[in-house]
């Protein structure tokens, strides 16, 4: 038998630190330290005890006992196998030895009083040559840890559910013992045997005991044990928590001993294994409540709940049927939303709207910057530039600023659209202005990045790169961050345009950065979303999609949201770059998401505007326009404003 | 490049308004970032404001270079001590400080690792040594060498996580071959520029010390530590808890492990301290802070930290890496 040590190790070599193992000595797969094994006095096959029990082999070595496979020789004509559990003492101090002996005697006494098909029978208990022995019914089969190891993945729901019912039955039997309930205290896969006819049997009653309401230090097994056992409290509900942990392990193959303790609620069953039916998951998750009072009141109550799950009600295939059902709603019958108004321009609206002063400002390929009444969608004014507009306007005080294909940046009066100033660059301006205080930051296809005085339209400084700049700036901590067509992400000193750092990606950067947790987050056409150290530009993490990331990330709460040309909208944890969820639109996304009130809004090349639940990526509604949507939404007072290549600007109910 | 400068634009004259009104308050675009030092911007604007909107010739590289701030003067000191009770020292420590050339100003790269081994028959010593070797090897090969060549493009979080996972695999394989139960903690702190990337498994802690006090950056991977974090046990109760140093996550005792990663700019912090539980378990945080603050030399300070743990009985091996961040 492989005796492989799992994490859960007490550091150090002082013996008293091993007290956690004092009462625990599994019959099956044991978890001893090397030292314990070296000291374990293993008897050779053929040794006969009491002139009656012959040793045939070793089943397992625990911290305090060895379990042998044996035979009872009294039965001459039949082979009557048994398990022989031998206690040995490795602790040097006499107090511990005495305690260990008492525990062993208690286990024997306890088992002798119990009668249940899922509890091994006791045949004998004796002392020989200064050692104590317990003769038990030999349980044929494998323990659940071995079953799980062999399966190399989650076990089927139906089988686990049937075991769960049996485990509730035996726990209920223990908890209903008089005068005091017996708490098993160490429910875990390695303490449950499953017989060839799929019956379960609890083994190792080493630390089970009558409920004595005093504080003890016996904890059970880390990962499965409930929090209260760390405070020396063990009630019947403690066994239900450990049962929940055991079932969670069996259904997910995610070992709780290697996870952060008490984090089952952070690792929902169905997130780890979507095949599990929601009903069974709910029963198990209730058992795993941190607070004893919110768990099932009794093993019997939990058993009844298990019997109500579709898995056991229908008798077969409940899990997969439920999973099939759950997958349905995403496809076709998605809700749509109300159109508040639609404003039609003369060409494609690639620019993203900006809402301010009760108006929506948006640029259009028909060369105009439009101002539209936000409430009713009525035309207010337009200003014609000499080229199409794909830059998105920004408002600062009473001017609205936008770049044009004609190479200029325009500032118009918000109220009437009168031109205040223009600032010429050498090539089209597709980057969008960002304003801080009085300074406007914008890039140009002429390869420069500009800081412009918003009052006069005069250049404050400029910075030269080697390719067009279409990314728009992110301003934070006295730095301005943007991407370049040369593949670099730049951090410039906001005051003088001096380079703080630049970091290369493998392809052009069109996406505009976002700033969060000291990181600059930006997409690149090398298919990757980068989170760069804002102080030095080095990649803290990278998240790779399957196509260009030209969409600009948006940070909301602990997550960053971004679209990819691969069709997915990604929600990624800011802290570590791990995927929280993704939603596949099946069409390219270059629109940049916005999150408002827990909902993510964005457009896609399939012409739809999407609204997803930011928590889980579930589709809430989508609205179909007549052309691809590359514009990014602006949300204000419950209305989503977004442009479409069908020449229209839309106002949709959020 | 020969491009003609774009024509001068006929700009509408800017309305004459008092300057203060423009930046003095309710700016809709001010998205919570710190306000700009407008005076210097305006001063500059006025200085260059001869012809509004004039762009300079494109091939005239007028880019201003930021004078890079000097890299922090890093001084690191490390010490491990057997303590007063143990017969072996199962801790291993590693430090590396290097300057790396960069176009925009040289940066500092520092790597600091403490591993606290466990397991009988010298397993602990072997495991902790293997851990620091694997981590150092990976980071030198995949970060330090590329950094010197000027091409850092790895994800630093992934690098730190993988380095510790590599150590885990190496120890796991070795333990299986030798039938050992060896394992180790591993806390590896990478300092790059002015940010820390810490890969962490176990209960060896990383602290940042600044003017406000001491801040623990890592979370101990012990159930007791987690119960303290959840407010279910108070730290005093926990000091004598039988499972205080019982770890649920270690390096080398499972084929796969999860590694915690902390990304933390150093900001105004003055010191980074890595401490094994032989130090933090027996020396109060306030004592550690006062030692670090009053003794200027990291070498002497780290000696004083170890002495303090020994004076408290030194029941365990004691390891400390102290980095003065300049």
| pLDDT per residue as tens digits for the range A32-57 | 333 334 445 678 888 999 989 999 99
Residue A176: how many CB atoms within 10 A of its CB?
Answer: 13
Tell me the residues of chain B between 231 and 290 that have a Cβ less than 8 Å away from chain A: 232-233, 241-243, 245-250, 253-254, 256-258, 261, 263, 265, 277
What percentage of chain B exceeds 90 in pLDDT?
56
With a CB cutoff of 8 Å and minimum separation 6, the contacts of A121 are A111, A115, A136, A137
A61: contact with B, CB 8 A cutoff: no
CB spacing of B9 vs A459 below 8 angstroms: no
Cβ pair A70, A64 in contact under 8 A:
no
| DSSP state string for A479-495 | EEEEE-TTSEEEEEETT
CB spacing of B155 vs A541 below 8 angstroms: yes
CB spacing of A11 vs B247 below 8 angstroms: yes
CATH number of the domain that residue A593 is part of:
2.40.128.630
Distance CA A610, CA A599 (A): 10
Weakly modelled stretches of chain A, pLDDT under 50? 1-39, 211-217, 315-332
Fold of B75-324: Phosphatase 2c; domain 1 (3.60.40)
Distance CA B64, CA A498 (A): 5
CB contacts of B143 in chain A (<8 Å) are none
Cβ pair A415, B9 in contact under 8 A:
no
What's the confidence (pLDDT) of residue A219?
Answer: 66
Which of residues A118, A137, A156 is at a domain's end? A137
Give A262→chain B minimum CA distance, Å.
8
- According to DSSP, the residues that pair with B99 across neighbouring strands are B108
Distance CA A365, CA A394 (A): 17
Helix (H, G, I), strand (E, B) or coil at B299: helix
CATH number of the domain that residue A124 is part of:
3.30.200.20
With a CB cutoff of 8 Å and minimum separation 6, the contacts of A445 are A407, A425, A426, A427, A428, A429, A430, A468, A469, A470
- Say how many domains are in chain A: 3
- Clarify whether residues A88 and A229 are in a common domain: no
CB spacing of A426 vs B55 below 8 angstroms: yes
Cβ pair A239, A170 in contact under 8 A:
no
Distance CA A488, CA A20 (A): 55
CB contacts of A506 in chain B (<8 Å) are 153
Phi, psi of A105 (to 5 degrees): -65, -40
CB contacts of A504 in chain B (<8 Å) are 151, 153
Alpha carbon A483 to its chain's center: 30
- Clarify whether residues A179 and A192 are in a common domain: yes
Residue range B217-245, pLDDT digits in tens: 998 998 888 888 777 777 777 777 777 77
Distance CA B130, CA A20 (A): 28
- Clarify whether residues A574 and A561 are in a common domain: yes
- Clarify whether residues A92 and A204 are in a common domain: no
Cβ pair A631, A591 in contact under 8 A:
yes
Closest to A549 measured CA to CA, from A508, A608, A604, A594: A508
With a CB cutoff of 8 Å and minimum separation 6, the contacts of B58 are A426, A446, A447, A448, A464, B1, B3, B5
Closest to A281 measured CA to CA, from A248, A304, A253: A248
User: What is the number of residues in chain B?
Assistant: 326
Number of H helices, E strands in chain B: 10, 12
Name the burial class of residue B21, with classes exposed (0-12), middle (13-18) and buried (19+) by CB atoms within 10 angstroms of its CB: exposed
Distance CA A429, CA A70 (A): 86
With a CB cutoff of 8 Å and minimum separation 6, the contacts of B25 are none
| DSSP state string for B114-164 | EEEEE-TTTHHHHHHHHHHHHHHHHHIIIIIHHHHHT---S-HHHHHHHHH
Which residue in B30, B175, B224 is closest to A436 by CB distance?
B30
Chain position carrying tokens 């791990």: A578
CB spacing of B245 vs A222 below 8 angstroms: no
Residue range B283-312, pLDDT digits in tens: 999 999 999 999 999 999 999 999 999 999
**Mutation test of the interface with chain A: which of B18, B31, B33, B199, choosing the one with the most A Cβ atoms within 10 A?**
B33
CB spacing of A260 vs B53 below 8 angstroms: no
- Clarify whether residues A211 and A250 are in a common domain: yes
Q: Is the ipTM of this complex over 0.90?
A: no
A20: contact with B, CB 8 A cutoff: yes
Parallel/antiparallel/unpaired status of strands B75-81 and A379-384? unpaired
- Clarify whether residues A163 and A309 are in a common domain: yes
What's the confidence (pLDDT) of residue A548?
Answer: 95
What's the confidence (pLDDT) of residue B197?
Answer: 96
- Clarify whether residues A201 and A299 are in a common domain: yes
Tokens at A446, concatenated:
């002429």
Distance CA A441, CA A439 (A): 7
Confidence (pTM): 0.72
- Clarify whether residues A155 and A301 are in a common domain: yes
What's the confidence (pLDDT) of residue A41?
Answer: 64
DSSP 8-state symbol, A28:
S
Phi, psi of A110 (to 5 degrees): -60, -50
What's the confidence (pLDDT) of residue A390?
Answer: 94
What's the confidence (pLDDT) of residue B67?
Answer: 57
- Clarify whether residues A265 and A119 are in a common domain: no
Closest to A111 measured CA to CA, from A100, A98, A124: A124
Cβ pair A513, A481 in contact under 8 A:
yes
Give A331→chain B minimum CA distance, Å.
35
Distance CA A239, CA A226 (A): 8
Domain carrying residue A583? 554-654
What's the confidence (pLDDT) of residue A188?
Answer: 94
- Give residue B22's pLDDT band: very low, low, confident or very high (50, 70, 90): very low
Closest to A12 measured CA to CA, from B303, B111, B131, B83: B83
Phi, psi of A604 (to 5 degrees): -140, 165
What's the confidence (pLDDT) of residue A554?
Answer: 97
Which of residues A114, A137, A160 is at a domain's end? A137
Tell me the residues of chain A between 80 and 139 that have a Cβ less than 8 Å away from chain B: none
Which of residues A296, A330, A364 is at a domain's end? A330
Domain range list for chain B: 75-324
- Clarify whether residues A203 and A306 are in a common domain: yes
Tell me the residues of chain B between 16 and 75 that have a Cβ less than 8 Å away from chain A: 17, 19, 22-23, 27-31, 33-38, 40-42, 44-45, 48-49, 52-56, 58, 61-67
- Clarify whether residues A130 and A149 are in a common domain: no
CATH number of the domain that residue A174 is part of:
1.10.510.10
A649: contact with B, CB 8 A cutoff: no
CB spacing of B116 vs A11 below 8 angstroms: yes
With a CB cutoff of 8 Å and minimum separation 6, the contacts of B232 are A227, A230, A231
- Clarify whether residues A108 and A180 are in a common domain: no
CB spacing of A462 vs B221 below 8 angstroms: no
Helix (H, G, I), strand (E, B) or coil at A283: helix
Alpha carbon B136 to its chain's center: 15
What's the confidence (pLDDT) of residue A521?
Answer: 97
């Amino acid at each position: 038998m492989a005796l492989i040590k799992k994490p859960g190790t007490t550091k150090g070599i002082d013996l008293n630190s091993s007290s956690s193992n004092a009462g625990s000595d599994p019959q099956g797969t044991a978890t001893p330290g090397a030292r314990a094994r070296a000291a374990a006095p293993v008897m050779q096959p053929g040794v006969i005890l009491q002139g009656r029990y012959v040793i045939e082999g070793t089943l397992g070595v625990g911290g305090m006992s060895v379990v042998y496979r044996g035979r009872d020789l009294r039965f001459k004509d039949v082979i009557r196998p048994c398990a022989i559990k031998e206690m040995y003492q490795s602790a040097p101090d006499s107090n511990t030895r005495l305690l260990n002996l008492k525990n062993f005697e208690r286990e024997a006494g306890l088992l002798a009083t119990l009668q249940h098909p899922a509890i091994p029978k006791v045949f004998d208990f004796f002392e020989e040559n200064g050692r104590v022995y317990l003769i038990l019914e030999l349980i044929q089969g494998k323990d659940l840890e071995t079953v799980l190891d062999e399966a190399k993945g989650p076990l089927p729901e139906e089988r686990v559910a049937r075991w769960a019912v049996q485990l509730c039955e035996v726990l209920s039997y223990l908890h209903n013992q008089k005068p005091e309930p017996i708490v098993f205290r160490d429910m875990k896969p390695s303490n449950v045997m499953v017989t060839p006819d799929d019956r379960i049997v609890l083994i190792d009653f080493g630390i089970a005991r009558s409920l004595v309401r005093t504080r003890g230090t016996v904890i059970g097994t880390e990962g499965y044990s409930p929090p209260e056992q760390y405070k020396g409290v063990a009630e019947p509900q403690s066994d239900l928590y450990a049962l929940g942990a055991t079932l969670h392990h069996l259904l997910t193959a995610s070992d709780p001993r290697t996870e952060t303790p008490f984090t089952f609620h952070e690792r929902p069953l169905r997130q780890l294994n979507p095949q599990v039916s929601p009903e069974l998951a709910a029963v198990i998750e209730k058992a795993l409540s941190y607070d004893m009072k919110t768990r099932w009141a009794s093993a019997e109550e939990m058993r009844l709940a298990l019997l109500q799950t579709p898995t056991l009600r229908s008798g077969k295939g409940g899990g997969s049927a439920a999973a099939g059902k759950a997958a349905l709603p995403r496809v076709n019958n998605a809700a749509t939303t109300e159109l508040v108004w639609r404003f039609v321009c003369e060409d494609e609206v690639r620019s993203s709207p900006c809402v301010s002063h009760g108006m929506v400002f948006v640029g259009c390929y028909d060369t105009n910057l439009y101002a539209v009444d936000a409430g009713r969608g009525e035309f207010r004014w337009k200003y014609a530039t000499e080229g199409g507009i794909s830059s998105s306007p920004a408002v600062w005080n009473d001017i609205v600023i936008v770049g044009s294909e004609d190479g200029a940046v325009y500032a118009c009066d918000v109220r009437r659209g009168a031109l205040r100033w223009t600032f010429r660059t050498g090539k089209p301006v597709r980057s969008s202005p960002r304003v801080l205080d009085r300074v406007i930051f914008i890039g140009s296809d002429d390869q420069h990045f500009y800081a412009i005085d918003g009052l006069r339209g005069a250049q404050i400084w400029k910075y030269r790169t080697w390719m067009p700049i279409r990314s728009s700036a992110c301003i934070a901590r006295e730095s301005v961050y943007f991407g370049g067509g040369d593949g670099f992400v730049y951090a410039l000193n906001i005051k003088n345009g001096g380079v703080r750092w630049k970091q290369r990606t493998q392809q052009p950067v069109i996406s505009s950065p976002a700033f969060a947790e000291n990181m600059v987050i930006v997409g690149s056409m090398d298919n990757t979303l980068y989170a760069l150290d804002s102080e030095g530009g080095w990649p803290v993490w990278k998240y790779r999609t399957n196509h260009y990331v030209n969409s600009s990330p948006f940070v909301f709460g602990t997550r960053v949201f971004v679209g990819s040309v691969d069709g997915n909208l990604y929600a990624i944890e800011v802290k570590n770059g791990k995927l929280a969820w993704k939603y596949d639109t099946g069409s390219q996304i270059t629109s940049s998401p916005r999150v408002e009130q827990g909902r993510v809004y964005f457009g896609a090349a399939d012409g739809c505007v999407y609204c997803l639940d930011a928590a889980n990526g579930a589709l809430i509604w989508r609205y179909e326009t007549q052309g691809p949507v590359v514009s990014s939404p602006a949300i204000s007072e419950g209305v989503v404003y977004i442009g479409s290549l069908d020449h229209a600007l839309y106002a949709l109910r959020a | 490049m020969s491009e003609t400068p774009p024509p001068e634009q006929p700009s509408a004259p800017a309305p004459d308004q008092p300057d203060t009104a423009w930046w003095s308050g309710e700016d809709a675009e001010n998205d919570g970032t710190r306000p700009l030092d407008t005076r210097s911007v305006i001063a500059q604007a006025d200085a260059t404001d001869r012809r509004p909107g004039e762009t300079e010739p494109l091939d005239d590289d007028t880019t201003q270079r930021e004078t890079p701030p000097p890299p922090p003067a890093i001084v690191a000191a490390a010490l491990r001590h057997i303590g007063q009770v143990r017969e072996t020292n199962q801790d291993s420590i590693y430090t590396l400080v290097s300057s790396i050339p960069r176009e925009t100003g040289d940066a500092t790269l520092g790597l600091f690792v403490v591993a606290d081994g466990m397991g009988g028959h010298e397993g602990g010593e072997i495991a902790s040594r293997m851990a620091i070797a694997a981590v150092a090897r990976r980071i030198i090969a995949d970060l330090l060498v590329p950094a010197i060549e000027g091409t850092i493009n790895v994800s630093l979080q992934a690098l730190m996580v993988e380095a510790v996972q590599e150590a885990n695999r190496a120890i796991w394989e070795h333990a299986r071959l030798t039938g050992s139960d060896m394992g180790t903690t591993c806390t590896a702190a990478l300092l790059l520029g002015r940010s820390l990337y810490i890969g962490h498994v176990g209960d060896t802690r990383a602290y940042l010390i600044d003017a406000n006090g001491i801040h623990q950056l890592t979370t101990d991977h012990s159930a007791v530590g987690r119960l303290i974090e959840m407010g279910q046990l108070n730290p005093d109760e926990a000091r004598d808890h039988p499972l205080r140093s019982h770890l649920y996550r270690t390096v080398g005792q499972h084929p796969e492990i999860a590694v915690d990663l902390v990304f933390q700019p150093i900001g105004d912090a003055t010191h980074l301290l890595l401490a094994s539980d032989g130090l933090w378990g027996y020396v109060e945080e306030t004592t550690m802070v006062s030692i670090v603050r009053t003794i200027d030399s990291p070498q002497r300070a780290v000696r004083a930290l170890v002495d303090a743990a020994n004076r408290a009985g030194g029941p365990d091996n004691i390891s400390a890496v102290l980095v003065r961040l300049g």
